Structure 1
Amino acid sequence: MADSATPAPGGSPRQIVPVIAMMMTMALSYGISIPLVSFVLESRGYSSGLIGLLAATPSVALFAIAPFVARLVRIVGARPLAWISLLTVAASVGLLPVLDNLPCWFLLRIAMGVADGILFSVSESWINMLAGDARRGRVLAIYTSVMAAGFAIGPALLGLVGTEGWLPFAVATGIILTGLLPLSLTGPGLPDLDGTASHGLMGFVARAPTLSLAVLLTGYVDAVLISLLPVYGLRSGLSASASALMITVGALGSLLLQYPIGWLADHVDRQKVFLGCGVGLVAGALLLPFVAGKSILLWPMLLLWCGACFGLYTVAMTLLGQRFTGPELVVGNAAFAALWGIGGITGPVIAGEAMDRFGKEGMPGTLAAGGLVFLAIGLWRHHRRKPTSSA
């Protein structure tokens, strides 16, 4: 179905909660397996470059599969594809200690990225269609908050199970397999995602450039903050512990502020909330040099800044579900996954190079520049078209 679809009343919590629960198991396992593999390779003396390459492999695979997700859904069916993808992710993690050599690990990470791309596209399409327009922002805010919590808790579990032997791999695999239970509880009421979309990924980007840029930018910001914010803190005079705390406070902000942002998206003009998050991104990037290492205002600023940055993705998903449904929505979610992957791969490279060339302020400078481009395009399209179709 094309964009500007008639808003659906939404599904029941009995349909929405199991899908979100299934995806939380994915976030938990992802949060465990990605750093786990890095720790194992580090202990074996592999170079940082190779470790980073293996860590980026799932994102590359996710990007590669994105153009084919809608076709696979049409051929196989959304629910069977979700089962296959979940089992593939479990196998790709569970086989790591069995096929314990680097070439096999690259192949397993590719399989994981492909399955992740399919699962995220299908499940986020289900959640968006089940949410209904009246509560879409809040439901998607809960989903993004749950996913953020899963990604944050996953690495902490490594402190309990360790990084040696079979146990951490078995725990990660077991968590993924628990996702089969909520998937089996979804029942027959899941939305139909079959059918033929009228456009592919590039067609979607052409029809929704502001949404596409927002997701690309959020993926960029996410990767930059995780990888370079502690470095920025150290170069600003903060201690190592305080620099690491910057990520924790930022993650807390992205977790706590999503529901208020989702509530706003359900009660006021979503385009204004969308652009407001962009303003918050730019403002935080410009303020960072003035508060880092010098002011207690750094901590509340980080809380609000990261909340606004990731609110951009929450509202983008809300607008996506408002405009598209069925196979069109699957294509949109696949495009989101691909764009996030591109942002995540390029972000640390571009921002790191900017820090080398222009000093530590090059990092927030690239974030502010990206935010300004988003605002320029978003404001132009907002004033050029009606608010409901200007994304």
Structure 2
Amino acid sequence: MKVIFSRDFVALILSVAVVGLGMGATLPLTALALTGAGYGTDIVGLLTAAQAGGGLAAVPLTGWVGARFSGRQVIVGAVLAVALATASMQVTTNLLVWAVLRVVCGFALMLLFTFGEAWVNQLADDASRARVIAIYATNFTLFQMAGPVLVSRIAPFAASRFLVCGAIFLLALPMLAAMRATRRAAGEPEPHGNWRHVLPQMPALVIGTGFFALFDTLALSLIPLFAMTHGFTASVAVLFASAMLLGDTTLQLPIGWLADHLGRERVHIGAAVVVVVLLALLRWAVAVPWLCWPLLYVLGGAAGAIYTLSLVACGERFRGAALVSASSLVGASWSVASFGGPLIAGALMQHVGNDALIGVLLASALAFLGAAVWERRRGAVRALQ
């Protein structure tokens, strides 16, 4: 665990924390600004899609970028791009320009997280990798959760609120300057670092990331509607999301410790089993308060572990350019699921009922569990050959 005391790791997680705070503030602030200007949820959704599209556009370019720039150069450039694009939203209200700026943010953030996750995986050793990644993920989540609190303070200041958000991102630069420059990802044969070569080696990790992106998005947006269907008031229903986010935030380090001592693959599959069982019980548990709230807490922690341990597995399986490509595929899976998942879940809830939300989450969790078991069996067969 010496890595957590290293200059590079401390600087990296602090800079990512600042980015998390900026993201957690900018996204809801954009929605508030649009609705305050009289635009509907369709426009808010389109701008969200624009950012997701920018992230997807970055995926095929990560190998090229990694071969030409160090990790620190990429992250610094991404921070500057996000800060400038966010601040520029203050000087215009043109929706087309805002859409372009959100595309720029999505593109830059995809590069930032791709290279940041690859970097933290390179800093970690195999003996403590799960705990190190858990610290990284928990740190980001905590500061992202603080973003909406910041919005409540700056939202009334219409003349400067986006400038403030843009300035927040710039606070990451001094910390990034303290980090040692990483080597470029060049030097490895291109086919082995290309995402087309990497993807067949990590189907379960891509599906697991997609599941958690879907879980994270729906927990914030639609789970309160499910709770209200079962008799909870709106003020209590929103606490369903809080309970799951609390579990996600506080349980990652203990689960990471388990993964380091019991084996990442075993704990990864175990987390999926817990998620499947708890989702199946949730519809009935909501009628029993003493059971419902602990269930939501553990569910959030187990769901978060599926994502955290997917990042850990990337570091176990890949190095160099291949690790960068794997991290970009994780980011792409997140973008696709967080954009398309709510559309599907929302449509099903509209036509089938709000309990359809649990069905969507359960189906995606089962998909990951099946892929993870298949990958483990495939690995066992290869070990015997």
- TM-score, normalised via structure 1 length: 0.93
> Are 1:64 and 2:47 matched, yes or no?
no
1:155-174 equivalences in 2 (<5 Å): 155-174=148-167
Equivalent pairs counted in the alignment come to 381
Assess, with a 3 A threshold, how the Cα gap between structure 1 residues 387 and 11 changes in structure 2: closer, same or farther: farther
Assess, with a 3 A threshold, how the Cα gap between structure 1 residues 239 and 207 changes in structure 2: closer, same or farther: same
Deviation at 1:380, TM superposition (A): 2.4
Corresponding letter in the other structure for 2:162 = F
Cα distance in 1 for partners of 2:241, 2:307 equals: 18
| Contact 1:78–1:194 under 8 Å retained in 2 | no
Aligned residue among 119, 122, 127 for 1:126: 119
1:1-391 equivalences in 2 (<5 Å): 13-188=6-181, 190=182, 192-196=184-188, 197=190, 198-386=192-380
| Contact 1:86–1:177 under 8 Å retained in 2 | yes
| Contact 2:70–2:183 under 8 Å retained in 1 | no
Assess, with a 3 A threshold, how the Cα gap between structure 1 residues 79 and 388 changes in structure 2: closer, same or farther: farther
Deviation at 1:155, TM superposition (A): 0.7
Q: Say which SS state the counterpart of residue 280 (structure 2) adopts.
A: helix
Which stretch of the first structure deviates more once superposed, 360-369 or 10-19? 10-19
| Contact 2:251–2:301 under 8 Å retained in 1 | yes
Corresponding letter in the other structure for 2:357 = M
Among the aligned pairs, what percent are the same residue?
30
For residues 100-155 of structure 1, what are the alpha-carbon distances to aligned partners after superposition, in whole Å with 9 as ceiling and x for unaligned? 31111111111111100111111111111001111111110011101111110001
| Contact 1:11–1:130 under 8 Å retained in 2 | no
Cα distance in 2 for partners of 1:191, 1:252 equals: 37
Deviation at 1:240, TM superposition (A): 0.5
Cα distance in 2 for partners of 1:319, 1:336 equals: 11
Q: Say which SS state the counterpart of residue 289 (structure 2) adopts.
A: coil
* Structure-2 residue corresponding to 1:6: none
Deviation at 1:216, TM superposition (A): 1.4
Cα distance in 2 for partners of 1:387, 1:16 equals: 37
**Runs of 5+ consecutive residues of structure 2 not aligned to the other structure:** none
| Contact 2:90–2:161 under 8 Å retained in 1 | no
- TM-score, normalised via structure 2 length: 0.94
Assess, with a 3 A threshold, how the Cα gap between structure 1 residues 10 and 161 changes in structure 2: closer, same or farther: closer
Cα distance in 2 for partners of 1:76, 1:192 equals: 6
Cα distance in 2 for partners of 1:133, 1:199 equals: 21
| Contact 1:224–1:348 under 8 Å retained in 2 | yes
| Contact 2:87–2:164 under 8 Å retained in 1 | no
Cα distance in 1 for partners of 2:72, 2:292 equals: 45
Which stretch of the first structure deviates more once superposed, 332-341 or 225-234? 225-234
**Runs of 5+ consecutive residues of structure 1 not aligned to the other structure:** 1-8
Deviation at 1:80, TM superposition (A): 2.0
| Contact 2:17–2:143 under 8 Å retained in 1 | yes
